[in-house]
Amino acid sequence: MQKKKIHWLGNRQFYRTAMALGIPLMFQQLITSSVNLVDNLMVGQLGNTALSSVAAVNRLTMVAIFAVNGLLAAAAIFIAQFWGAEDREPMKQTFRFSLLAAFLILVPFWLGETLIPEQLLSFFTDVQDVIKTGSQYMVIAAWALPFTAFSLSTASAMRAAGQPRLPLGISVGAVLINTLLNYLLIFGKGGFPVMGVQGAALATVMARLIEALLHLYFLVRKSFPFTTRLRELFVIPRSLAWSILKKALPLALNEFLWSLGMATLFMLYSQRGPEIMAGYSIANTISDLFFVLFGGLATATTILVSKPLGANQMEEARERAYQLLAFSIFLAVLFSMAMFGASFIVPAWYQVSVQTRQIAAQMLQVMAVMFWTYTANTQCYFILRAGGDTRSTLFVDSGFMWLVNIPLIGLLTCFTSMNIMQMYLIGQMTELAKLSKAYHLVRKEKWLVNLTQ
């Protein structure tokens, strides 16, 4: 059967709506990434060892966070589609499910980081100074995870119900508090003792606690369509829980494997020396300022595609999906130019070795050139996810990483003397092959499904 014609360009109202939905989360993530950059600069003043240690811990923590986000993404699809169908009770049940599941996922990570930090960090490096310093940071920072589970679940539900501004405001407040506490506790300002990396960890815990309390306050005070009573927390129909799980498990598994894959790549690149470890961390922290585009696209896709799917408006969902794909590539070109320019400026702010700064700058330049492929791949992922085609998302995202990217970099690391930039460039070029497969799966249109029926 011949495919319907694709309308790549939307009308003005489409772009206004997409930007109105996407900009709040982009702005939220931009602030978060900017504060992370400031935090990174603060820790960087303590030296390469401190910077490498915190980077290794954060890589491990992100495995947990991404696993939760994968599950919450599936729950958000159901919340958005139930919202489109104007069915509140299943929205509440889905929110309860997301809360409980988020805590269950993070508990093992919390226990591991508090009980066996040195064993976990030895996965990334065998440099004892890095392991020792990282362990001091990890055992404190791990206590932020329970608060993070609550905040992530609540913020995700708010955005899926078309109310992104409140979690934006809460996040802005939390990251600003985190920055202030970092300054006070790392360097011993305002009468506080000099705590170094332990101060950075304590600041993180305190900021996450305040963020969770703010989410709880507004959840109780405001009337959200998914707001639930505490005594009903465990009231979730098995049929709904199973439906969400069938979609959530591939997404959560994908996010877990993807973040674990990124941690593995971090470990492989780090085999070339501690300067590589620090430079890679700097490049990724700076690039996060530009990857905020993905958060905006995720929110816009959830609302503009998932909501009409839930209302059985299939053609509208289809057109919006392809228009978002075209729009994402246009935005990616703009962002890539800004990233390329930043590569000549921001790494110079770090008080690290010249080699570390050069590595960070060169990695950013490679990312800038390839940014349009990252964005197109990610938008294909969001489209597939919007209709619950989670098997395809698993294949084109983490599946591709573990089957292609990681084995390739592993072979180059272990069996060649290739320098880090040659390895990194080859690894990033695999995104072109990934894009070919991802777009093919979008064009099959198996994601055009109403999950509420």
Rounded Cα distance between 247 and 40, Å, is: 36
Rounded Cα distance between 285 and 119, Å, is: 25
pLDDT of residue 7: 67
**Predicted confidence band at 2 (pLDDT cuts at 50, 70, 90)?**
very low
Pick 386 or 251 by higher pLDDT.
Answer: 386
Classify residue 5 by its DSSP letter: P
Structure confidence by residue, pLDDT tens digits, 87-108: 677 778 888 888 888 888 888 8
pLDDT of residue 126: 74
Structure confidence by residue, pLDDT tens digits, 326-355: 888 999 999 999 999 999 998 888 877 888
**Predicted confidence band at 4 (pLDDT cuts at 50, 70, 90)?**
low
Which stretches within 222-273 are classed as H helix? 238-270
Write phi, then psi, for 446 (nearest 5 degrees). -75, -10
pLDDT of residue 85: 67
Give CA separation, 196 vs 143, 152, 309, in Å.
Answer: 18, 28, 50
Rounded Cα distance between 274 and 127, Å, is: 9
Could you write out the DSSP letters of every residue in 85-145?
Answer: TT-HHHHHHHHHHHHHHHHHHHHHHHHHHHH-HHHHHTTT---HHHHHHHHHHHHHHGGGH
Write phi, then psi, for 186 (nearest 5 degrees). -70, -45
Domain layout of the chain by residue ranges: 12-444
- 158: phi > 0 → left, psi -120 to 50 → alpha, else beta; which? alpha
Structure confidence by residue, pLDDT tens digits, 384-431: 877 767 677 777 778 888 999 999 999 999 888 888 899 999 999 999
Pick 281 or 404 by higher pLDDT.
Answer: 404
pLDDT of residue 426: 93
Residue 451 has pLDDT above 70, yes or no: no
- Tell if the pTM clears 0.75, that is, is over it: no
Q: Which residue has the tokens 């709880």?
A: 216
pLDDT of residue 362: 95
**Predicted confidence band at 1 (pLDDT cuts at 50, 70, 90)?**
very low
Average pLDDT of the chain is 82
